[in-house]
Copies of this chain bind each other. A is one copy, B any other.
Amino acid sequence: MVMMGGGNPGHIPQVQERFSEILHELAIDQAAVRRLVGIYDPPQGEKQFISALTDMLNQEYGWGLKPENIALTNGSQAAFFMLFNMFGGDYGDGSRKHILLPMAPEYIGYADAGIAPELFKAVRPDITFTDAHEFKYRVDFDAVEVTAETGAICVSRPTNPTGNVVTDEELARLEVLARAHDVPLIVDGAYGTPFPSLLFVDATPHWNEQIVLCLSLSKLGLPAARTGIVIAAEPIIEALASVNAIMNLATGSFGAMVAEPLVRSGEILSLSRDVVCPFYKGKMERAVSEFSAAMGEHCRWYVHKPEGAMFLWLWFPGLPVSSLELYQRLKARGVLVVSGHYFFPGLPDDGWRHRNECLRVTYSQDDEQVAKGLRIIADEVKTIWAEAGH
């Protein structure tokens, strides 16, 4: 089976080598081992990592952070579960608030995170064509509506599944909206800036107290360590730490301690920029090139402009079968992808055909396997059109 459905990051030997070195140093330092295994961190997270990250971000970007602005969670997913249910859902006074996703498609992992039903309200994007077989979603600000029932606005940047990067201008407009309605703007930077930087276009690292910036060590190469990072105003961090104490007692120390030397020295930024980013950019370019060659001009097809993350978002306008059926046919041929229709949490059922015309294809794994999978996708799409008499 060619695995192009999952979200596991790629294997970058140079990055793993650094983690091996650090692990080795930790293993021979008894005081470090004691912290690594034997002492509960506070619910806000490992202090030395938070301190190092505070210093590094202030030095690089002048954000004026204090350690009280940063909390660690057992992975980003756990952070979003807590944040969404803190800002959205039942407020206990009879009122209920939603999380506004200003641009669908959006991350599938949000879909089930609501304790209360119907937690999300999503908005259809504008579609612009950027090349013969390339398009880009843009926020349709005419359709974005923040109301008294909006608890927070959330956008992933780069976006999983599309590889879209919300522009600096779009982000600024979302922030203006958030500020005007006194709700936080949650920016999911799991693939983004300042690290791990799976970004192939410019995107300015940005934070202030209106923003809840969620980062992760997973795509740097530490998915198994489960370390999410939340940067926000102090009252939000304080509340998050309290929720974390109730749900998890404490966050694991491992990811924080393995990454701390890289944060303290700033190496996490150079590693992201000079190693991680080029690794994925190369994979993206080879994948696009392979798929373009395989598709040719037989039918309508588009790739979302691949600006970041590690997915190609393929769009087959007018395809005679749904993306779910395409997924099933591809699975039968040994290629695992994800049907695009899952990535529209909170978008009302509006008969929009586009929702059922897209696939998310992960290109983080072995190049030859990725190329093989993409050729099979192209072949299957052409077969479907041929079966329909085109």
Could you say which residues of chain B place their CB within 8 Å of the CB of A249? 75-78, 109, 226
User: Contact: B41 with A248, CB < 8 Å?
Assistant: no
Could you say which residues of chain B place their CB within 8 Å of the CB of A81? 246-248
User: Contact: B38 with A223, CB < 8 Å?
Assistant: yes
Please choose the segment from A5-13, A289-297, A342-350 that sits at the chain B interface, where 4 or more of its residues have CB less than 8 A away. Answer: A5-13
Residue A27 at the chain B interface, CB threshold 8 Å: yes
Could you say which residues of chain B place their CB within 8 Å of the CB of A298? none
User: Contact: B20 with A30, CB < 8 Å?
Assistant: yes
- Restricting to A39-69, which residues have a CB under 8 Å from any CB of B? 39-41
Q: How far is the CB of A311 from chain B (nearest CB, A)?
A: 16
Residue A146 at the chain B interface, CB threshold 8 Å: no
Could you say which residues of chain B place their CB within 8 Å of the CB of A156? none
Could you say which residues of chain B place their CB within 8 Å of the CB of A115? 115
User: Contact: B36 with A224, CB < 8 Å?
Assistant: yes
Could you say which residues of chain B place their CB within 8 Å of the CB of A30? 16, 20
Interface readout for A232-270 with B: 1 if CB under 8 Å, 0 if not?
000000000000001111111111001000000000000
Residue A299 at the chain B interface, CB threshold 8 Å: no
Interface readout for A194-229 with B: 1 if CB under 8 Å, 0 if not?
000000000000000000000000100111111000
Could you say which residues of chain B place their CB within 8 Å of the CB of A224? 35-41, 250, 252-254
CA distance A308 to B249 in the complex (A): 21
Partner of A23, one of B27, B75, B250, B253: B27
Please give me the residue from chain B that is nearest to A35 by CB atom: B224
Q: How far is the CB of A86 from chain B (nearest CB, A)?
A: 13
User: Contact: A40 with B252, CB < 8 Å?
Assistant: no
| Most-contacted residue by chain B among A24, A33, A248 (CB, 10 A) | A248
Please give me the residue from chain B that is nearest to A33 by CB atom: B20
Residue A113 at the chain B interface, CB threshold 8 Å: yes
CA distance A223 to B226 in the complex (A): 15
Could you say which residues of chain B place their CB within 8 Å of the CB of A222? 37-38
Could you say which residues of chain B place their CB within 8 Å of the CB of A78? 74, 247-249
User: Contact: B26 with A23, CB < 8 Å?
Assistant: yes
Please give me the residue from chain B that is nearest to A113 by CB atom: B246
Could you say which residues of chain B place their CB within 8 Å of the CB of A250? 75, 223-224, 226
Residue A300 at the chain B interface, CB threshold 8 Å: no
Could you say which residues of chain B place their CB within 8 Å of the CB of A246? 81, 112-113
Residue A28 at the chain B interface, CB threshold 8 Å: yes
Please give me the residue from chain B that is nearest to A257 by CB atom: B224
Please give me the residue from chain B that is nearest to A115 by CB atom: B115
Q: How far is the CB of A36 from chain B (nearest CB, A)?
A: 6
Could you say which residues of chain B place their CB within 8 Å of the CB of A38? 8-9, 11, 16, 221-224
Could you say which residues of chain B place their CB within 8 Å of the CB of A8? 38-40
Residue A19 at the chain B interface, CB threshold 8 Å: yes
Could you say which residues of chain B place their CB within 8 Å of the CB of A113? 246-247
Complex A-B: 23 CB contacts under 8 Å: A8-B40, A16-B30, A16-B38, A19-B37, A23-B26, A24-B27, A24-B28, A27-B27, A35-B224, A37-B222, A37-B224, A37-B225, A38-B224, A39-B223, A40-B223, A77-B248, A77-B249, A113-B246, A113-B247, A223-B250, A225-B253, A226-B252, A252-B252
Q: A16-B38, A38-B223, A77-B248 are in contact. List 18 more A-B contacts (CB 8 A).
A: A6-B40, A9-B38, A11-B34, A11-B38, A19-B33, A26-B27, A35-B224, A36-B224, A38-B222, A40-B223, A41-B224, A74-B74, A75-B252, A78-B249, A224-B250, A224-B252, A225-B253, A252-B255
